[in-house]
Amino acid sequence: MKKIYLLFIVFVGLSSYAQQDAQYTQYMYNTMSVNPAYAGSRGVLSITALHRSQWVGLEGAPSTETFNINSPISDRIGLGLSVVADKIGPTTENVIDGMFSYTIETSLQGKLSFGVKGGINILNIDYDRLSRYQNEPTMLNNDMRSNIAPNVGAGLYFHDDKFYAGLSVPNILETKYFDDSSFSVAKEKINLYFISGYVFDLNPSFKFKPTVLVKAVVGAPLQLDLSANFIYNDKLTIGVAHRLDAAWSAMAGFNATDSILLGFAYDRESSELGNTKFNDGSFEFIARFELFNRFNKLLTPRHF
């Protein structure tokens, strides 16, 4: 049984026509990874690091490391850099992106940002490891194969003091890795994201922040993530989330200072995969550090 699940992970890693972007439960703290228009929107130099271990206990299960840095360089222009390492079975994808955003004031008393990004995707497949999964040789001369491809993306992001919404296509180009004569073919499919959230003041001490993420990929089911978060004294955030037909999650965030956010999330699969004794759930850790600058003193707490 364990080998069946292991081979399932391999299949996910080599999926030919449904390759998707990295998955995040704490997307509300990691927005720039899915929308380049977010770069510089917090008005400060912001540095974020995230680690995700998915389906812990299954050999070859996905794991993701993300590093983002972004800042405004004027009251309208923001820049950012994102580095993502995504591992699934015998495959590793490294993504390096540069972000640019331009922000305008609107009649809705909020700000609208237009963002673009450009970068490279580096996909590696370890065929020697794959042959060990299958207990048979792959009949390829190379144990490791790599492919580098460019990509571009774009997004829109609107926010005011209480509300935000964004629409983005992080990877516009449908990149094809390797050719049809190779052992496998993988494609970067277009991922379309919609994100939104609102902060309600319940009383002087508590706030309520629901959020939503919708992800659409050609050839894959629509992904819908819903979360409900309660914020105490602008310091402690406790919440739950549900990824439709996939997982339930518990989340916690703590603003250690005005500059430091620490967050944790635990996912438990609601699908059949979650019932196996080899799957201990998914864990996600995030840390964000910020430095104030002359463009915005960050006088009020920002929860997105």
Q: Could you tell me the domains of the chain?
A: 2-291 (2.40.160.40)
Residue 298 pLDDT greater than 80, yes or no: no
pLDDT on residue 275: 60
Q: What is the mean pLDDT of residues 34-51?
A: 95
Whether the predicted pLDDT of 266 surpasses 60: yes
Distance CA 184, CA 42 (A): 42
pLDDT at 241: 96
Compute the CA torsion angle 102, 105, 111, 112 (nearest 10 deg).
-50
Q: For tokens 């899915």, name the residue.
A: 34
pLDDT digits (tens, 9 = 90+) for 175-196: 665 554 455 555 667 889 999 9
* Beta pairing partners, 192: 216
Locus of tokens 């990509």: 151
The yes-or-no verdict on residue 208 having pLDDT over 90 is: yes
Residue from 153, 148, 146, 192 nearest 172 by CA: 153
Instruction: Check residue 273 and give its pLDDT.
Output: 63
- Looking up tokens 């910020």 gives 290
Q: For position 278, what pLDDT does the model report? A: 66
Global pTM? 0.85
Is the per-residue pLDDT at 14 higher than 50? no
Average pLDDT over the chain reads 84
Tokens, residue 18: 């449904």
> Comparing 17-26, 121-130, 210-219, 282-291, which segment has the lowest mean pLDDT?
17-26
pLDDT score for 60: 77
* 31 pLDDT above the threshold of 80: yes
| In the chain, % of residues over pLDDT 90 | 55
Task: Give yes or no for residue 286 having a pLDDT over 50.
Answer: yes
Residue 169 · residue 154 · CB < 8 Å: yes
Going by pLDDT thresholds of 50, 70 and 90, the confidence category of residue 300 is: low
From 80-89, 142-151, 207-216, the region with the lowest mean pLDDT: 142-151
| pLDDT higher than 80, residue 56 | yes
Q: Specify whether the backbone of 153 is left (phi greater than 0), alpha (psi in -120 to 50) or beta.
A: beta
φ and ψ at residue 251, rounded to 5 degrees: -135, 150
Say which range, 145-159, 216-230, 264-278, has the weakest mean pLDDT.
264-278
Binned at pLDDT 50, 70 and 90, residue 25 comes out as very high
